[in-house]
Every structure is written in C-alpha cells, then in structure tokens.
Structure 1
Amino acid sequence: MILLALGAACVVASIGGTVVTLSGGKPAAEKDTLHTCFTRARLFIRQRSEKDWVYTYPSVNGHETFEDRQEYTFTLPIGVDPERLHKHFWVFEQGFGPHIDIEGDSSMFTMKVFNKGISQFAYNVSDIPLEGIHLPIVVGKSRSGWEVYDMVENPHLLIAGETGSGKSTQLRAIITTLILTKQPEELELYLADLKRSEFHVFKNSPHTRAVVNDKNELQPVLEYISLEMQRRGDLCDKYEVSNVIDLPFKLPFILLAIDEVALLKKDKKLMPLIEDITAIGRALSVQLIISMQRPDAKLLESGLKSNLTVRMAFKHADDVNSRITLNASGAEDIKDEERGLMLFKHNGMKKVQGPFLSLMEAKKLLKRP
C-alpha cells in the first residue's frame, strides 16, 4: 500500500495506481490534471512510515470560475521549496495551456488559467498607475491589469531576451517613465550602453549624469558610485538609521543601468564593483538594472544573480537560457510574433505584455530633436 496525504486528508491508494481525487468541487478531469501537475513537478513530501511510503501533496483550498479565467488556490506542504514550483512552471503550462499565471508567497499560491492571451499596446505614461510608488518600474499589462512595482522595495532587475524580442523597448519604457515622473534632484541616472544602440536618447536629460559606451569609461562611474555608497553608509551610521530614506534630509536615488553586461564578464575590476551594488545598494538607494541578449551562466552564477530578485524574460533561444534567467523553463516558448511578451518573475511568475515605445515617440516625450 501507498499512503497519499492531500493536505489534511490521508488517502490510501494501491501501488497499481488508483486515481487520487482532490477536494474543492472541480470537475474530475481538472482534479486529475492538477494532481498530475503536482506529481510531475514533484511538489510533494515523501516519508517512510512503519510499513509504507507516505506522500504529502499540496492541499487545494479553492476553485473559482470567472468570465475570463479559472482560479485554483493551493498550499504547498511544509518542506517543499517554493522555487520548485517556479522551476516547473512549464509542467502547469502543459497541463492547463499557455495562458496561465502563478502568484503567491512561500507556501500559498493561486494559479490563474485564462481563456486567451494578452494583446500588444502602445506606451502612454498617463495610463500607468503610479500613486504611492517611490521609484516606479513599469512592467506592462498582465491579464489582471497594469504591473508596476517599486524599485525601492525590489532594487535590482535582470532583463534578458533575444534580438527583436522587446528587451530594448522595455528598457526605453522603464527609463522614460522614470524621467517623466521624477525630478532631476530626486533621481540620478548612470547609463552604460556597451553596444552603442540604446541609451543615447537619454543623453541630454537633466537626470542623466553619465552615458558611457565601453568598460574604460564605465570604470570611473563605478568607482564614483562605490565612493558614494561608502559616504551614504557613513551618514546612516552618523544618524543611526538603517536606510538613507530615514535620514533627516533627502538624497537622490541612483540608478545604474548596464545594457549587455555580459561583455564585462571577464573584467575582474568592474564585476566586483557591480556585485557590491547588488549586495548593499538597497539600503543606500542605489539601484541596478542589467540586461543581456543571452543570459550567461558563468556571469550569473555568482552572488550577482541571487540579488537580482526581479526578472523579465522575453523570448529566449531555448530552455537552457530560460533556466539561467528564471530558474525555470518557459521563455523559450514565447513566439517570435509575440514581441514584448515576457515571463515576469516577482512574487510568482506571470506573463506580461510590455508597452511598445518607439525611439521616435521617446524622443518626443523627452523633447529631443
């Protein structure tokens, strides 16, 4: 005999393979599909009893039907790493189709199964909900509406995607939004355009302190930011606060954006400075965005990747690259015609359509000739 524990319930099944159903009032086919996904993703705990193996599976807390989607809420057993769920996102796509989102914290998750995909749309800063966000990073629209997060709370971002996938357009929309919504005394931009293709449009913005095009020009920028972080840390010590936001005076946010950071992977002087920003920058209001066409495992296997807590994965070449970026497959399944569509990893995984902002339109918004 094998004992299968589903949440609080314990179901006895024969080794021959009796179908195990889940609670929640769903059609039998959906119960079986959900349980199959749990099994294939190995979202269970296996323990040996006196005579048998006991398998504890996620407990399904609820199922709701809406006009545009189905929602399933479930809780992982204690001891199951939630990262395993993200790594096996593809399993749930195989079971329920490509139009799914999974959101949640360390144990409770909601899977939304939508009837259709997300439409492309044009950038319009007046449409973006920005109230109450200190340093807004515009992501785009999911099936639930706008996705915008505060970089003060999640200070470092990784963006990856093949040529033509929408990565550069996303960077353009993010930086344009920051320039349009923050005053120059509130935000300093340091931009490294290592492929000389993107950041020139921001060169004359009063927010922009530097636009550099090679690692020789980048080195003094990183050294300056390193010294500024030390100064800010000393101020926090002096005023006995843990974050510069709590100082009795305001300091500007510092945002360093590096396009094609993979070109720096062999530089033993610059990479430690970049890693320092990801390690201690949050409390000092120093944020980092790095982007690359193809994620580099050697570059990201260091402490750098673990501190890049928010990730945007556009079309990837294969599941190996997707796993480097997201620790999960899925980005390789984005179609060529789905430009601007990404897998957005932040408190779960969901598909988001980034806004389309052309270079010409960005120049108009920034009042560039």
Structure 2
Amino acid sequence: MLSTIGVSLLLSAGLLSSIRTENMSDKNKIEKIFEYTGTHVKGLNGNVKKCQFIRKAKMENGTEYVYRLPLGLPYKQLQHLNKNIGVFKDGLHKNVEVEFDGGMLHLYVYETDLPKKWEYKEVVPLLKNKWNIPIGKTHKGLVWHDFDQIPHMVVGGTTRYGKTVNLKGLMTSLILSNPHDVEFYIIDLKEKLEFGKYEKLKQVTQVAGNPKEAADMLEDLRKRIVKMMQAFGACGYTNITETNDNKRIFVIVDEANRLVPQNRHDKDKMFCQEMLELIACIAGGLGVRLIFCTQYPVSKTMPRDVKQNSDAKMCFRIQNKYASAVVLGEENGHAAELPDIRGRCMLVQGPNLLEMQVPYISDKTMNDLLVDYMKGARKDVTPDEAETGENTIEFIPIGDA
C-alpha cells in the first residue's frame, strides 16, 4: 500500500528560483532537489549513494517519475521529506504528489490543477449499500473513505471555506447509502442554524443547538453505549464488524470550539468533552463514529484523545501553520498554504496525505435528495420506528447469518 510523503526540508527561495528558471527537464530538476535536500547516503569509504532513477510514465494529465531510494537512507530523513510538498511544487513550478512505496519513491508531476468546484450530484450514482463513500477528488480521481476501517474524523478550517458543506455532503452520502442503518446525533452549536432543518429526517435522532442540549443528548447516548458494551461483552464480541448488526451511529459536532469549558464550573461543556473523548476512545468498535469539526483549531479546542483516535483528518484553508498542525499532525502546515478556493482541503487518511477538492452540495440539493426520508413521508417506516429511532441488538455470528 502506498503511503504518501511530502518534502519538508527548507530550501532557500534563491535555490528554488534557480531550479525553476534553468533550462532543464523535470527529471533533472527533481534530481537537483534531491541533491539540495541531501536525499542520499554517504558510505564509510566516502562513496555517495543517490536515488536511482527507474522509469517515467506518461499519465493523462502529467508524468510519473519512479526512483529507488538508496539502501540505508535514515527513516528520519524520509520523515523530513513528509513535511512540505511545496519543495517540489516550487522547484518544478507544477502540481506534484509524492508517494513512498517501500524502497521506491513515486513523484507524480501534473500539468493541470484540481477542479475548483464539482457538484455533489456526481457522487449519487456511485453510492452503494456500504460505509465506504467518495469524499473528494485529487489529480488521480475520487478519494473514498471507509468509516468501518477508519471510524472517526476530525475536520478544521476557517469559516466559509467548506467545513459545513462537507459535513452535509458526508451526511447525505451516508443516508443515501444506508437509509435503514445509519443514525445521527448532531451537535450544531450555531443554535441549530445549519442542521436543525434536518431533525425531521428518519435517520436523525436529535439535533442539539447549545451545550446544555448537547450534554443531555450525549447522556442519552452514554446510556445506549453502556447497554451496547454489555451486549457485546455477553456475546464475546469486540467489534461490530464481527456481528450481523448493520447499524452505525454517527455523532457530528459542528463548531466544537464552542464546547471548550471556560472554568471548572462549566459542567455541561466538561461533560460533553468527556463524552466525545469516550466515543473516540472506546465506542468505535461498537459502531459509533465521531465527526468532530472546528473552525478554531488550537490544542484546547481539539481534545487529545479525539485527535489521537481519529486517523482521518481533514483541514480546509486555515489561518496559520500552527492551526494546520493542530488538525493534521505535528509540523504539518499544508492547510495554511492552500489556495484561496472554497472546498479545497488537505486530507490525512491513515498514512496518506492528499490535497483534494470536496464536492459542493447546496441546501436545495440536499433537501431534494433526502425529502423522501422525512419522518412520516415514507410508507416503509412505521410511526414508532420513525419517532424513536431505537434499535434492538440481536447478534448472530456472521458465519451463521
């Protein structure tokens, strides 16, 4: 499996400028960057082992260059190469993606930019009855995210750059893919301004608009989690994927920075923080997924346990590299360098780092796609089922299902 690395060694603006202006091929520029960044190994006898060019291949919108890394290249040096893809972008004056596959380095040099906007309606025909949904586009095509493989996600970014639109797209995809099995608890700390209108959806148990409502809602969910843990323990299960239960519960938090306690008497906010950390730490195996979103990412607004247990991290354009690193990981300032384009973000997905454009979904499109799922609108939903959203847990071993 490819794990993406970027390049993060600092080169002077003068050196990068000289590479750009010199009349040389992209291949020679890449090798010049290797030279300047010290991407080589010096032997005891003074010999220098360099990256060995293997091949190049034309792509639809660019060229792939493949190099074999020198044996013995320190892992820390590869980590340094993971800090700033801008070294290659600035040096070649083109869009570049860099991936590390074992001892091989793949550089994808693109002649075109990512789309500045693409419509959510392109997603709809691709949706299937699964928890793996398309979430964006890179130069290579669609990016998919499987919430059964990576259950929790944190999202950051400055207001009006796409966070809430992205949440609405994720929510719509999950409902269209799994209308009978997905359930939402939503904390919309804009007093339900964005998500209150969707509280009538069959799949939405509750929308909380302030910390007091959020605390009450999370207390109800805590009681369900305790029962689920007891049921799992009685059957000897540790993960919902081992069972026949297709139900998944998503907790969406928008504007999570408003849940930060101001003092120790802020009981509701303190309880919310504790519950969100509990969900991130232990509830993923029970089928509870957390999507935690904030426009003001600093360490106190991003609980450590939430961040550490969320292997998917998405950051839209952000004010500075520190805020970017809070969301994406140590020293990862890429989101502060994103172009001024709504919907453009950096994604950390397990070991991979990608720049992508998320689909745009308007409120009208979301309403049109989900209108049949409003409580009472569907004939195959009983009134009791629509009102309570309750589910019973009856496990059957998967082999017998």
d(CA) in 2 for partners of 1:103, 1:203: 42
Instruction: Indicate the residue corresponding to 2:248 in structure 1.
Output: 253
RMSD between superposed Cα atoms in Å: 3.0
Q: Which amino acid in the other structure matches residue 201 of structure 2?
A: S
What letter is aligned with 1:31?
Answer: E
Aligned to 1:138: 134
8 Å contact 2:85–2:97 — kept in the other structure? no
Where does residue 184 of structure 2 map in the other structure?
A: 189
How far residue 326 of structure 1 moved from its aligned partner, in angstroms, is 1.6
- The alignment status of 1:353 with 2:349, answered yes or no, reads no
Deviation at 1:263, TM superposition (A): 1.2
Deviates more, 1:196-205 or 1:76-85: 76-85
Provide closer, same or farther for how the CA distance between residues 256 and 325 of structure 1 changes in structure 2, counting only shifts above 3 A.
same
Report whether the alignment pairs 1:311 with 2:307.
no
How many angstroms apart in 1 are the aligned matches of 2:64 and 2:248? 39
| Equivalent residue, structure 1, for 2:239 | 243
SS in structure 1 of the partner of residue 292 of structure 2: strand
Q: 1:250 to 1:331 in 2, by over 3 A?
A: same
Query: Which sections of structure 2, spanning at least 5 residues, go unmatched?
Result: 1-24, 262-268, 375-401
C-alpha change, 1:309 and 1:268, in structure 2 (3 Å) is same
Maintained 8 Å contact 1:103/1:350: no
Query: Alpha carbons of 1:175 and 1:125: their partners in 2 closer, same or farther (altered >3 Å)?
Result: farther
Report SS of the residue matched to 1:361.
helix
Indicate conservation of the 8 Å contact 2:188/2:208, yes or no.
yes
The CA deviation at 1:116 is 1.4
- The structure-2 alpha-carbon separation of the partners of 1:282 and 1:298, relative to structure 1 and needing over 3 Å to count, comes to same
Aligned length: 334
CA drift of 1:81 comes to 7.5
What pairs with 1:294-305 in structure 2 (closer than 5 Å)?
Answer: 294-300=296-302, 302-305=304-307
CA shift digits 1:178-223 (9 cap, x unpaired): 1122123x11100000023321232111000010101111112222
The alignment status of 1:71 with 2:64, answered yes or no, reads yes
8 Å contact from structure 1 (residues 161, 293) kept in 2: yes
Q: Structure 1's 189 and 34: CA in aligned 2 closer, same or farther, altered over 3 A?
A: same
Structure number with higher helix proportion: 2
| More displaced stretch, 264-273 vs 26-35 | 26-35
Work out which of the residue numbers 98, 118, 123 in structure 1 matches 2:120: 123
| Contact 1:312/1:343, CA 8 A, preserved across alignment | yes
Tell me: CA distance 1:235–1:62, structure 2 relative to 1, closer, same or farther (3 Å): farther
Shift of 1:344: 1.6
Shift of 1:57: 7.1
Please say if 1:214 is aligned against 2:210.
Answer: yes
- In structure 2, the partner of 1:335 is 339
- Structure 1 Cα separation of the partners of residues 102 and 326 of structure 2: 21
Aligned sequence identity (%): 22
**Residues 32, 192 of structure 1: CA spacing in aligned structure 2 closer, same or farther, 3 A cutoff?**
same
User: Alpha-carbon deviations, 1:3-42, whole Å to 9, x = none?
Assistant: xxxxxxxxxxxxxxxxxxxxxx984332112443x44xxx
Contact 2:100 2:106 in 1 (8 A): yes
Q: Describe the SS at the equivalent of 1:110.
A: strand
- Judging changes above 3 Å, is the alpha-carbon distance between structure 1 residues 170 and 97 closer, same or farther for their aligned structure 2 residues? farther
* DSSP 3-state at the match of 2:355: strand
Q: TM-score, normalised by structure 2?
A: 0.74
Partner of 2:323: helix, strand, or coil? helix
Structure 1 residues 223-234: aligned runs within 5 Å: 223-234=219-230
1:113 aligns with 2:109: yes
Give the letter aligned to residue 362 of structure 1: M
- Equivalent of 1:151, from 147, 152, 160? 147
Provide structure 1 residue ranges, at least 5 long, that are not aligned to the other structure. Answer: 1-24
SS of residue paired to 1:163:
coil
Matches within 5 A, 1:58-97: 62-73=55-66, 77=73, 79-80=75-76, 84-97=80-93
1:367 maps to which residue? 371
1:59–1:105 CA distance, 2 compared to 1 (3 A): same
Q: Distance in 2 between matches of 1:57 and 1:240?
A: 53
Distance across 2 between alignment mates of 1:226 and 1:166: 30
Quote the Cα distance in structure 1 between the aligned partners of 2:41 and 2:270: 43
